[in-house]
Amino acid sequence: MQEDNPTYNDDSLVQTDEARFDTVWRFFEKWSLSAGKLFGVMIRIHILIVLGIGLWFYDVEGNRDFIVKSMQFISIIIAVLSHELTHVLVARHFDNAVKGIILMPPFGGIAFIILSSDKPLARIAISISGPLTNILMALAIWLHLRYFGPYSIYMQSFFRHLYMICLVVGIFNLIPLYPLDGGRVLKDLLLLCKANNRAASITTLLVSLSCFAGMVTLTLKMAAFGNLIILSILIAFAVYDLLFNDDNRLSAKEEKKL
């Protein structure tokens, strides 16, 4: 199977039409600054980081609070970068072209991958690699703190923040809410089980709507109203990409290749 459409989510932007892909990449590149390369992958920082820093530090009280907030912010950058970088490296392993990574802490990041693989297993590996990396990092940090401490109070705080953020990022992205990684894995698993693209899309959307309803309920109970915006954006992309994007539907001939 080969999908022609651009697919957007919280941490990846994938399409096989290189002309459109380049247009979107140039748009993000225009509003970002180079941060060098890592493993040959271009890393850029979006100017939204200015807004992110402002929102993150606006209520700081005293030097100690500033240090704690700084460690949390650095932890977010590490967790997001490792997540996106793993997506990119696995995609490159399966011969998919990569433009780079745009970081927008604390809002997340985007891995720009030209997805050319027609194998659901390869796409599953690409999608699940990011969350698994975060979870494995969290496990490694937990073991390190348990068996190789103690550190200074600030280093302990940094590692604990990094542990928690890696765990949250990893688990959150495994939720089967398209277009999160978990939703993409669900759709490719359905395709792997010989479901046609239309059936896989509708099933994935129904599961996504169920997850959306549950997460909205939890958000309201926790009074974390800002998360409603993120959830609404996610489900809007899910509805568009799974139902209304005609380019996303496979022809019968293509479906037989699965």
Q: What is the pLDDT of residues 54-64, one digit of tens each?
A: 877 777 777 77
Percent of the chain with pLDDT over 70: 84
Q: What is the pLDDT of residues 224-246, one digit of tens each?
A: 666 777 788 888 888 888 887 64
Tokens of residue 188, six digits: 């490719």
Helix, strand, coil shares, percent, the chain, to 5: 65, 10, 20
pTM for this entry: 0.81
Q: How many helices (H) and strands (E) does the chain have?
A: 9, 6
Domain extents in the chain: 1-174, 176-258
CB contact at 8 A, 71 and 46: no
Stronger pLDDT, 4 or 85, i.e. the higher one? 85
| pLDDT of 164 higher than 90 | yes
Rounded to the nearest integer, the mean pLDDT of the chain is: 82
Task: Provide the β-strand partners of residue 38.
Answer: 41
Asked if 207 contacts 176 with a C-beta cutoff of 8 angstroms, the reply is: yes
